[in-house]
Amino acid sequence: MAEDIKKGLLGIVVDETEVSKVMPEINSLTYRGYAAQDLCAKCKFEEVAYLILNGELPSEKQLKDFEKVERKERNLSKTLLESIKNFPKKSHPMDVARTAVSIMGLEDKETKDNSPEANLRKVMRIFAKTPVALAAFYRIRKGKKIIKPKSNLSFSENFFYMCFGRVPEKEIVKAFDVSLILYAEHSFNVSTFTARTITSSLSDIHGAITGAIASLKGPLHGGANEEVMHMMNKIKKPENALNWINNALDQKAVVMGFGHRVYKSGDSRVPTMREYFSKVAKVKKDKKFEKIYDIVEKVMIERKNIHPNVDYPTGPTYHLMGFDTDFFTPIFVISRITGWSAHILEQHAANKLIRPLASYKGNSYRKVIPINQR
């Protein structure tokens, strides 16, 4: 009897989690039971990061203490800063993120300590330093001077300040915060499963997050938001969108930013991100990408019944904010560190080595023939 193989572990439940779930009864992604769109409406990113890592929304004091720790940990070591300065300027920022976290692991005195307390301390260091490292590289590759972090700025404000030298309009900061909230966590996706698999061998948290970053880089996962922007740049203007998407579908091309294995009737994160995409477009006085967005979405739904995922509105939103396209997925990283970390902590708490089986379909047993007889 043939073995029942589930390619890509499709439909296989491999473990339990308390971190997040797409709840069909409300058709929404939830973090610790809270709908992601409700968190976007009523919380800032730091509150949601606290929730994902600690299980409950923070009180005012808990949030203040959490922000104090994050802001204190932002400064990079001289070694890491020098390394970033010496990275090839053509490096993909995802490779920079991966390497920076590895260097943090080399430097951290608690790298080998996998206790819950030590892991939480390391989480806060990785969470605080990774956006600073990426912003430093953002400046370096443009031939500009690195800007030091400011402890009186929020997580999102500081990232903008370090990249561009100024904090943008409050509507832009809020939209960025919303994107971070929506990207923060999504159950057993490929990068999270990678992090949990690495953790299951009792490896360290820096190694697990490094592996997760490598996984997220792929265009079928985190890199999709970059591919969406490449697509929109190929379309160039709204007048071209209808022909472009119809030709792409006629040629059976993959259209990035659409479809999701978890959501069958549309990604619950999209309406919120679409709303803030529109707000950013209004502030920037640029409706071109919105028009392209609407035309492509309409055809995809009409012809294929495939709805957009969160990467579709996020890509052009980041573009309008001024970020280079290859920085879209690294922004995903600075958010998803929270979700990965929560899963790493959860894996440690009830660990079992993740070691699936494979169905062998190679050669049957063969005898080795000496080299002079082959």
The CATH number linked to 47 is: 1.10.580.10
Any domain includes 51: yes
Tell whether the torsion through CA atoms of 55, 57, 59 and 64 is positive or negative. Answer: positive
Q: What is the pLDDT of residue 221?
A: 79
Whether 354 is covered by a domain: the verdict is no
One domain, residues 281 and 198:
no
Q: pLDDT band at 222, cuts 50/70/90?
A: confident
Is pLDDT of 345 > 90? yes
67 and 190 co-located in one domain: yes
pLDDT confidence of residue 2? 56
For residue 170, being part of any structural domain is answered with yes
Q: In what order do the strands lie in the sheet with 28-31?
A: 20-23, 28-31, 34-35
212, containing H or E segment: helix 205-216
Decide if 361 is inside a domain.
no
User: Would you place residue 17 in the very low, low, confident or very high pLDDT band (cuts 50, 70, 90)?
Assistant: very high
Span 28-52, average pLDDT: 97
pLDDT for 41-66, tens place per residue? 999 999 999 999 999 999 999 999 99
Question: Of 259, 265, 251, which Cα lies nearest the Cα of 221?
Answer: 259
The per-residue pLDDT for 7 is 81
Write out the catalytic residue numbers. 221, 260, 311
Residue 261 has pLDDT above 80, yes or no: no
Number of domains in the chain: 2
Residues 182 and 132 in one domain: yes
Q: Give bridge partners of residue 20 from the DSSP assignment.
A: 31
264, pLDDT greater than 70: no
What 3 state SS string does 316-341 have?
HHHHHHCCCHHHHHHHHHHHHHHHHH
Specify if 359 maps to a domain. no
Q: Is residue 128 part of a domain?
A: yes
CB burial readout 222-250, b (16+ within 10 A) else e: bbbbbbbbebbeebeebeebeebbeebee
Do 233 and 207 have their domain in common?
no
Sorting pLDDT into bands at 50, 70 and 90, what band is 31? very high
Residue matched to tokens 């502030």: 283
User: What token pair was written down for 255?
Assistant: 């259209």
pTM of the model: 0.94
Residues 165 and 103 in one domain: yes
* 92 vs 11, higher pLDDT: 92
> How buried is residue 16: exposed, middle or buried, by Cβ count under 10 Å (0-12/13-18/19+)?
exposed
Q: Long-range contacts made by residues 110-118, C-beta under 8 angstroms, separation at least 24?
A: 111/204, 111/206, 112/204, 114/202, 114/204, 114/205, 114/348, 116/345, 116/348, 116/349
Q: Do 177 and 245 fall within a single domain?
A: no
The pLDDT tens digits for 286-327 are: 999 999 999 999 999 999 999 999 999 999 999 999 999 999
From residue 238, give the alpha-carbon distance in Å to each of 258, 291, 323.
19, 6, 22
Q: What is the mean pLDDT of residues 263-282?
A: 92
* pLDDT tier at 1, thresholds 50, 70, 90: very low
pLDDT at 260 over 80: no
Q: Are residues 250 and 310 in the same domain?
A: yes
Measured CA distances, 270 to 31, 49, 287, 334 (Å): 16, 20, 18, 20
pLDDT tops 90 at residue 146: yes
Question: Can you state the angle between helices 155-164 and 116-140, rounded to 10 degrees?
Answer: 30
> Are residue 337 and residue 314 in the same domain, yes or no?
no
Q: Can you tell me the mean pLDDT for 130-150?
A: 97
**Structural domain of residue 189, as residue ranges?**
34-220+330-349
* 184: helix, strand or coil: coil
Among residues of the chain, what percentage have pLDDT more than 90? Answer: 89
Q: Give the domain CATH number at 309.
A: 1.10.230.10
Same domain flag for 246 and 341: no
Residues 85 and 205 in one domain: yes
Residue 25 lies in a domain: no
Asked whether residue 197 is assigned to any structural domain, the reply reads: yes
d(CA 181, CA 111): 27
What 8-state DSSP symbol labels residue 58?
P
Instruction: Give the mean pLDDT of the chain.
Output: 95
3-class DSSP assignment, residue 134:
helix
| CB distance 329 to 295 below 8 Å | no
Q: What is the pLDDT of residues 82-110, one digit of tens each?
A: 999 999 999 999 999 999 999 999 999 99
Residues 127 and 216 grouped into a single domain: yes
* Same domain, yes or no: 212 and 65: yes
In Å, what is the CA distance from 257 to each residue of 228, 261, 312? 6, 12, 4
Q: Could you report how far apart the first and last alpha carbons of the chain are, in Å?
A: 36
Distance (Å) of CA 214 to CA 97, 149, 181: 9, 26, 21
